[in-house]
Structure formats: C-alpha cells, structure tokens
Structure 1
C-alpha cells in the first residue's frame, strides 16, 4: 500500500532541497521503494534523472549514502551538482587516489559527525579491507551503484573491480541498493541483479525512446563515400559533436584528417596517458574541443548538455553500446542528430574484437591456483598466473559463472568449498564462453538489423531492450521519408515478455514485434528475428 505521507516527504525534499517542482514518471515509485528498504534497478537514459533516485531518499534516511562510481571525473561532476544546491544537508565528500591521507581522514570525520551525507568512492577503494572497514563503521543506510552495467560480463564497459561489490554490500550489513545505468538489455539486467545480490528488486526501464534525437543510418559502399557523408555532417551541423571509431589508430588518423580538412578535432582513446585524457575531457566539457574523435573509452562522465550530434563511422558491437553513446547527444532536450555510417566489412572487425574462446589450459591453471593457494588478492593472482588485469577479470568472471571461483572479502578471489575440479571448471567455463559469444554475435546481428531497417528505426532498437513501441517514432530518417508504418498494436502470436521454446534454440523471451517480424531473446543463442507468418504457420515456437 502506498503511503501518502512518504510521498509527501519525498516531494517536499525534492522541491525544497533540489528545486524540483515535480518528479518524473517512475521516480516517485522508485524512491518509495528505497525508503521501504527495497532494492531498485533503474535503466534510464542519460539526463533522465537517475541520480535523483538515490539523492532524494538519502535525505530521509538516518545514515550516510555510499555512491560507488567508476570514474573520478564522473564523481566530481555529481559532487559539483550537489554542492551547487547550496544546502548543508547535501554535503558530499570523496575518498580516492586524488585525495591526500589527511583529506581522506577529514572526509571520514565529516561523515561520522553527520556533516556530510554522501560518500563517493570507486570499487577499487572498496577492495582494500582497511578502507572497507572504515566505510562499514559509518553504517551507510543506502548504497548507490552508478554505471551498474560495468559489473556484467555481457556489458560493453565490463570492469573486473565491480565483481566484488556483491560481497561489499553484504559486508556493509546489506543496506538497500539502487543500481543505476543508462542502458541495459535483459541479459545485462539479469547479470546486475545476480552479481549484486539484489533481493527481488523493483526494476524500472523508462524513457529509452528520446524524441529529440534524430536517428539516421547510411550504408557506405566505399570509404570515400563514408568520409564525404561525415564531412557533410560536420560542415552543416553546429558542434560540439562526437565521432565514435572502433580502434585507437582510427581515432588518431580520423582526427588528423578532419583537422587537415579545416575542422578542429582532437582524438581520445584508452591507450593515452591518464593526464592527457583528463585534460581532453575537461576541454571538451568547456567547449574548447568542437569535435572529439574517440573510441568507446570516451563516454562515462560526459555530462555535457549541448552535444548536438554523435556519429559512428563503423557498426557498433551492440545496441547496448550504441544507445549509450548516442544518448550523450541532446541532453538539454533540444534537437540533436545521430548518424551511423556503416559498411558490411565492419562486422568482420567486430568478430575480431570478440576474439577467440579462452584457452582451456589458462582457465584450468587459474582454477588450480585458486584451489591450492586461495584466497588471493588480484595482484597476487596475477603474479601466480602471469595474466593481465582485464583478461584475469574476464576468466574469473567465467569461473564464477560455473562455480569455480568466488570473490570474497577485500576483493580476494577464492575457490568455493564445493567447486568442480580445475579441469571440469575449465570445460564448463569454455562452454559458458561459447554461450556468451553466441549472444555477442546475436547482438551484432541486431545492430545490423537496426542499420538496415527500412521502416521506423526506433521500433527494432527498443524491441531489443524489451520495450514495445506501438507507433512510429517520427524522429528517424525512415519515418521522415514516409517509410515508417505503425504496427497496429504489434499483434503477434505470443504476448511481449512471454516465455517460449524453440526446438533447436531452447527457451527464450518474446521481446517485441515490428511489422511482420518478432524479436526473441533465447537463453543459449541470444537474439533472433523471426518471421511472424512463418512462426504461426509452422509452429516454430511453443509457450512455456
């Protein structure tokens, strides 16, 4: 039963402390759930008010709120936003590598004394047992996990350090958790819930269709044609804008080519020194860089309202990353443009990035080390195995999926008591990797379907995320050309979100309908687009 008193308290706090006269649809329900001690997973587009979901309830709870965020720049933006409110009750502090020990102690003292409400911290800090003990002593009443898709092996921004957060939450006494992300398909949502240990969370998926973004895609028969289409965009559309490229070398070369053509452009990728990246990040936010040519490393923390266009000069790996990246445009609500310039050859590059299956011997050796010597810190484990940090994180995640590893206190990795033998764990992990590769391929297939769509582009894009658009969007190139057709309620042989079974592909969930096609997410092989008449005539699917 909804409490009018709780709603009144939340609305009053939103108005008096934050200046928000109204709350957006779904926000109030999520806030009420948090105050009742319930976990929340919120999938909301960039700029839609995700931070409000934890900031407003935090002012009504007795202890401090812990905000876990992966980037210092992103943390600083959020801290600055709270400080600009000018309220003592919204004081936020940070503990990171950027603060001196004296500053860190001052932050902890402010939290202990009630002079600060929010503690911003990275998952790497929480991997330190001493730091975790300090945070536990604060008795946080709420934990907010920003960019929660980073915990998912299916996610495009997977971060190994996020894997320990489920244990961290339990170590803190299991306060309510709100997990926030701008885009998460059903496999990513399931992974977030499982890895964070969310207890029957309230799941919010709202507003993924952004009407101010004009969606456009063009097949480019040659690289010269792709270049000319990009020039047409940058010469006619005012900046600032972002051009996403698939490789570091591509970012450097395209930025140089644009500069030579008379357009001020800089490049950004993960291979650059941290200081150089931070400098470019700040310059772009300050409107000092009109065009940023970047890999997917340029993303989280780009809290910039006036980005007028986002272009992709290759087919992205999935609708997950694509929606996240184009979502950085038009955060001020004004019209913005998104342009996908793709070629069939792009898929070969994505297959290269997907890479080969993990080596059985590396998985077996890793599992054997954990069985013989664990628990081990990640650094110690790297010394024993010789694996790089990212690769080790991916292998540990695979072993965790099959019960061959577990992340424990202080981020240490151990062998569970009833783990399979190292050889069996390795075989099971390879099978899991094969399943993940099938899903990755299906996500690229869905991205290609979006690029090739001859009708409304928003319909297949939202169907991928399980949202049903029963009208044409009216803000894509196909709709503008009169090629988008309403689906008349998207009538199909099975309800959206119903569970079905296929003789070869196994169990799956109906995600949505577009024209005479249906999208189904199968547990083992990923996304498939099927002809509705063929499904009906041949009985390809049955209800589970």
Structure 2
C-alpha cells in the first residue's frame, strides 16, 4: 500500500518523497479509516487526499469554504495533465449546463475530484446527486471552520457531519493548519469521525524569526512599524484589528511612499478581488488586512508578516504568520503590541446570549415539530442575521435543543428541553465558550510578553513540545530563553498527563517552558502556572 502511494506521488505529481506524517494519514484513509491532519501552511495537506484518490474506487469530495481557493486547487490538479487527476466544481459560479457537464464527467469516471462549498448541501437534490456517485473519500479543508472554538467558525460547516452520513459515511480526512486540542476534539465530534488517525506535526517553522515588542503608545508603534518596513524586503502582510485601522494604515503608508492596499470583509467582492490579485502579482508590496485575508493564499515569497495589535488567540496568530516564508527562505514575524490591545480583543470576544431570544427560537422550533424548518424561514420569522442565527443554533444543538439536518433544515429533537431550560443551558454554554476564548487571549498575551523561548511558548499551546529552545526568536537571540531553560528544574507532571485543580477541575498538561507550565482545563481553558507555586501549594494532583 505504501509503495503504491509513493508510486502515485512520483508518477503523477512528480514528488520524490512523501513526509512521514503524510504517509501516516494516507495509509489510514486507504484502510478505510478517518484522519485528522494538522500541518503548517505549505506542508502538503492537500496531498493527503490527492495521492490516495486515484487508488480508491469512487470520486473524492473536497469541501472548502472559498471559491478562489477551490479554483487554485483545481488549476494545480489540471496542471498535472493526468486523466486520473481531473477535477470539477459544483458551485454558484457555474451555470446549469456546466454543473450538468461536471456531474456527467463524474458519473463516467472522467473526473476524480469534485469541489464543493458547504452551501451546496442546502439543496437536497444536490445531496442526492453526490450520493449517487458513491464517493470513496470526503476531504474537509480548513476544518477548523467547523468548530465554534476555532478562530474562523462558519455556521455552514455545522451540517457537514449530517451531509457525510447522508452520503453513506465514506472515510473522512479533515485538514487544517492550526487546531488546538479543544478545536481538534470539536472537529472529530462535529464531523462524526470514528477513531481517526490524528497527525499533528511540524508546527515549528525554523525559517520564521519570531519577535515581539511592547509599545507604550500608538506613536511608538507607528515608528517601530515604519522603521521595520524600511529595512524589510517586500512583499509582506500587516494584520490590523479593525476595518477602519486597515484603511487608515494603508493611506499612511502610501503617503510615506510605500505601495500598500487595504483588505477587509466590509469591502465589495470586486474591490477585495482586485486587492488580492494585485498583491499576488507583486503589483502591490504591502497588504494591510484584517483576518479576513489569507485563508488558502498560495504566495510562497511573502518575506514578513507584521501584527500591529495583539491577535485574539495563538490559533489565529499561527495561521497568519504561517503565510510567511512558504518557499522555505528566511522570513520575519513581528508583533507590535500594547496593553490596551487586550481590552479591544475582550470587547470583540464578548458574546452575550439573550435568554429570551434563545427561548423564542427554541419555542419556534417546538411549535412546528415534528416537522423541520429551513434556516431561511428562521431568519425571516425571528429577524436574526445568518451569523447570529448560526451561533444560537450551534448552542441549542450542543444542549439538545435543536437538531441540524441536511438542506439547511433544523428541527427540535423529540426529547428537547423546554424552551426556558434550553435558553438557560445555552447561556451557560456560551459563558463557558467565552471563558475559553479569554483564556486563549491570555495565552496570546503571555506569548507577547514572555522572556522565555517564543517557539516553545507558542507550541505549548498546541500540545507540542520542543527539546531545547527554538533558536529563531528574539529571546533566543539575546540569551534570555536559554537562561530560563537552565533555571528550570524537574517537571512535577509528565506532558499530556491528566491533572485536577481544586477550583478549575480536570485538565491536561500541555508543556513546560522555564519555570512555567501550561495546562488546558476542560472548564476554564488555558492556564499558565508557576511550577514552584504548583509544587509548594500542591495545586494539582495527577489523575
């Protein structure tokens, strides 16, 4: 089996070797198992489904959120110029004749891959068409979008588990560049994955130099940014926290003679596309963007990524800096942060749940039971926006007050709690999610302020461990990281061991850095603890 995979990789893709983590996930799929792969940007996640696909009997379904990303992947497969790697797409961008032609190619075996966005599952006829093809594999790209704990949650992804069951439950491969332990657990649960092969590796990027600078005021932040840009080789990305900040900063940079363009979700699709294309073509050297920019971007020569505010979590941060240095050449990563950034991020992560709103939604679902109701109807009858409705339905699903079906339909389960109880449980669940979100922000602030190795600190969040310091951060360069490592004593609990805290409950030890330990608690999220204090006061006990 492994020899066949290597042969396909060589003959049809021109790859002389496959990475061990790729082979591990591929072998699981060939054996009919599920797989979850968390690999950094540029590490060959797509190969995990592309190489086995020609060896499996039916077509491969590829689900990803962006049409532009799908087009890039289709173009890449087409460029291989091999009959077994032909790909088609079923989306709103194709006309009826094109979609019919694509389906015929799949039925005839003339196409191996079919790319879909989650929105396509709203059409029961489309689901029936895909099921009739008897797919042998479902690949879910950008899988972190399925998790309400993730940094880019998309409500449309919530119906994927149901959709895959409708197809007859072929093997699933979920792919993402960043997924912390709770996000990984959520992906497995929401997609209905069964005993998946989980591959998490390569999150350390030695060619990225990590640097963090505290700025006492905005003027200092601007001066530090300007000085860095003048000494940096373009192209690069600057991430800003708000839409307004991207536009203002792009204007200031242009006034300084630096070609820059803004990009954010409030721009028209045409303006975003033009900015995107200009940056990809090296017509513009600097992209100033919110987190709306970057998913699926395939530009290998980005030489730096700068943040002018604290990101909301290490999940977001790792995803964003991963866009630098994809060609393997050295790249710079700079975080310019202020104490005030934390307050801004807490404002953004503040999710309030109106009990009356949730109770009314639950009551509406019960009033039409046992019949389902579409999300479009729910939007119309409740007045809720699509994103808000998606968040509330997600909460209701988690507490047993709603069941999400294919075709964007929702119904109240037979044994659903009363609307009032559903609202109470949903509010508690939202508070728990908010607590975890704020703990992730605390971890991001800890990364920004630490005098220990930044590589170790960042990977600890994802449950990965570095032997020794990373050697590619500012603290390693000035010697403080090694001094912190030398000062550390023996660890009180093995990495990945389960522990219990008297107040915070059950947790898992993720990593150690210097005299600090990182623990992920089920109820309160991430905590960074002092090892001497833990030992002196016996704050943790092993389970």
Length-normalised TM-score, structure 2: 0.98
Structure-1 residue corresponding to 2:493 = 494
User: Partner of 2:491: helix, strand, or coil?
Assistant: coil
Q: Match for residue 393 of structure 2?
A: 396
- Residue of structure 2 in register with 1:511 after alignment: 510
Residue in 2 aligned with 1:35?
30
Counterpart-to-counterpart distance in 2, 1:43 and 1:411? 28
Q: How far off is 1:435 after superposition?
A: 0.5
Q: Secondary structure in 2 aligned to 1:299?
A: coil
Aligned to 1:412: 409
The alignment status of 1:85 with 2:68, answered yes or no, reads no
Residue matched to 1:196? 191
Is the Cα contact below 8 Å between 1:318 and 1:443 reproduced in 2?
A: yes
Name the counterpart of 2:372.
Answer: 375
1:541 corresponding residue in structure 2:
540
CA–CA distance in structure 1, aligned partners of residues 32 and 105 of structure 2: 25
Are 1:102 and 2:101 counterparts? no
In the alignment, structure 1 residue 477 sits paired with structure 2 residue 482: no
1:366 to 330, 348, 361: 361
On the 8 A contact 1:470/1:490 being kept in 2, the answer is no
SS of match in other structure, 2:481:
coil
Q: Deviations over 1:409-454 (max 9, x none)?
A: 2121111111111110110010011111110110000000000011
Contact 2:121 2:406 in 1 (8 A): no
Contact 1:521/1:528 (CA < 8 Å) preserved in 2?
A: yes
* Counterpart Cα distance in 2 of 1:208 and 1:84: 29
Residue of structure 2 aligned with 1:62, choices 57, 66, 88: 57
List gaps (5 residues or longer) in structure 2. none
- Provide the C-alpha distance between the structure 1 equivalents of 2:190 and 2:209, rounded to a whole number of angstroms: 35
Cα deviation code 1:111-155 (max 9, x no counterpart): 110000000110001221111111111111000000000010011
Residues 267-286 of structure 1 mapped to structure 2, 5 A cutoff = 267-286=262-281
3-state SS of the aligned residue for 2:373?
coil
Range 461-470 or range 405-414, more displaced = 405-414
Report the Cα offset of residue 371 of structure 1: 1.1
Which segment drifts farther, 438-447 or 370-379? 370-379
Once structures 1 and 2 are overlaid, which stretch shifts more, 81-90 or 198-207?
81-90
- Mapped partners of 2:278, 2:124: distance in 1: 36
Query: Could you say what secondary structure the match of 1:473 adopts?
Result: coil
2:299 aligns with 304
The structure 1 segments of at least 4 consecutive aligned residues displaced by more than 6 Å after TM superposition are: none
C-alpha distance in structure 2 between counterparts of 1:406 and 1:241, whole Å: 44
Asked whether 1:288 is paired with 2:287, we answer: no
- In structure 2, distance between residues paired with 1:219 and 1:536: 31
Distance 1:338 1:490, change over 3 A: farther
Q: Does 1:178 align with 2:177?
A: no
User: Quick one: distance in 2 between partners of 1:197 and 1:15?
Assistant: 33
TM-score (norm 1): 0.98
Shift of residue 492 of structure 1?
Answer: 1.2
Q: Aligned residue pairs: how many?
A: 539
Q: CA RMSD in A?
A: 1.1
Q: Secondary structure at the match of 1:215?
A: strand
1:490 Cα deviation after fit: 8.1
Whether the aligned pair in 2 keeps the contact of 1:34 and 1:40 (CA below 8 Å) is yes
Give, in whole Å, the separation in 2 of the partners of 1:410 and 1:7: 38
Post-superposition shift, 1:160? 0.5
Q: Do the aligned residues in 2 keep the contact of 1:127 with 1:164 (CA within 8 Å)?
A: no
| Corresponding residue number in structure 2 for 1:450 | 447
Q: What's the offset of the Cα at 1:356?
A: 4.0
CA distance in structure 2 between the partners assigned to 1:512 and 1:127 by the alignment: 42
Picking from 82, 103, 110, the partner of 1:115 is: 110
Aligned partners of 1:127, 1:284: CA distance in 2, in Å?
Answer: 34
Structure 1 match to 2:340: 345
Report what 1:3 is aligned to.
none
In 2: Cα distance, 1:446 partner to 1:193 partner: 24
Deviation at 1:161, TM superposition (A): 0.3
Aligned 8 A contact 2:351 2:434 in 1: no
SS of 2:480's partner is coil
Residue in structure 2 matched with residue 243 of structure 1 by the alignment: 238
CA–CA distance in structure 1, aligned partners of residues 350 and 516 of structure 2: 30
> Take 1:344 and 1:267, find their aligned partners in 2: how far apart are those partners?
25
